[in-house]
Chain A
Amino acid sequence: MKIGHVVGRVTLNHHVDSYRGGRFFLVLPATREQLERDTLEPLPKGNTLVVWDDLGVDIGDRIAFSEGGEACMAFNLDTPVDAYNCMILDRLDYHPPALSSDTET
């Protein structure tokens, strides 16, 4: 699953029936820099994607979402979903090695 920040909401008035029961959110996939500093301000540039969610996230949450074939596995009916929110992340213990010594020998 990729890590992402929920930055917006998408509302639909006409949609496929099997979308009922969930909502769509705009998610910005997290890069290393964003994860190292906790707050999102200033909002980094990046391409957001729309993630289907039924766990009840809100704007500002960090989530783990899966894309591709796995995303539509969670539905009983065949549903055209490309990105599915699997988890709302509580705590991230993120300690990447310092950038200078990035090449692990």
Chain B
Amino acid sequence: MLLARVDGSATSTIKHPSATGWRLAICQPQDDQGNDVGGPLIALDDMGAALHQQVIISSDGDSLRDWVEDSHSPLRFMVTHIVDEVLA
């Protein structure tokens, strides 16, 4: 799982059907010190994480496919936790 910061949201009309109805949060993975690591990602979010909120995103496809109830879903990354505090 990755620690990440929510930097915005995205909208998409033409997409794989399993992504319909999910909020697309733009997440920037971070290390424990809060420095950005790599490029921004798009994660499915149904927790309503706020802007610049720290969250944990999971890159496991299996649990995401159960979540979107589509065994052929090519999606990846979903927000699983909203972080209160990081004790690094």
Q: Which residues of A contact B (CB under 8 A)?
A: 1-3, 29-32, 35, 55-56, 64, 66-76, 84, 86-97, 102-105
Interface string of B74-88 (1 = CB under 8 A from A): 111100000000000
**In the bound complex, CA of A35 to CA of B19 (Å):** 22
B40 near A30 with CB under 8 A, answer yes
**In the bound complex, CA of A87 to CA of B44 (Å):** 12
**In the bound complex, CA of A31 to CA of B16 (Å):** 23
Chain B residues numbered 15-54 whose CB sits less than 8 Å from any CB in chain A:
15-16, 19, 24, 26, 28, 30, 33-36, 39-43, 51-52, 54
A88 near B13 with CB under 8 A, answer yes
**In the bound complex, CA of A54 to CA of B50 (Å):** 32
| A7 CB to nearest B CB, Å | 15
**In the bound complex, CA of A71 to CA of B64 (Å):** 13
Size range of the chain B interface in the assembly:
35 or more
Chain B residues near A69 (CB-CB < 8 A): 61
With A3-B42, A64-B42 in contact, is A84–B74 under 8 Å at CB? yes
A74 near B41 with CB under 8 A, answer no
A68, A74, A96: the one contacting B7 at CB < 8 Å is A96
Interface string of B50-73 (1 = CB under 8 A from A): 011010000001001100000111
A31 near B39 with CB under 8 A, answer yes
B26, B35, B41, B74: the one contacting A94 at CB < 8 Å is B26
Chain B residues near A67 (CB-CB < 8 A): 76
Nearest A residue (CB) for B5: A104
With A73-B65, A73-B74 in contact, is A93–B15 under 8 Å at CB? no
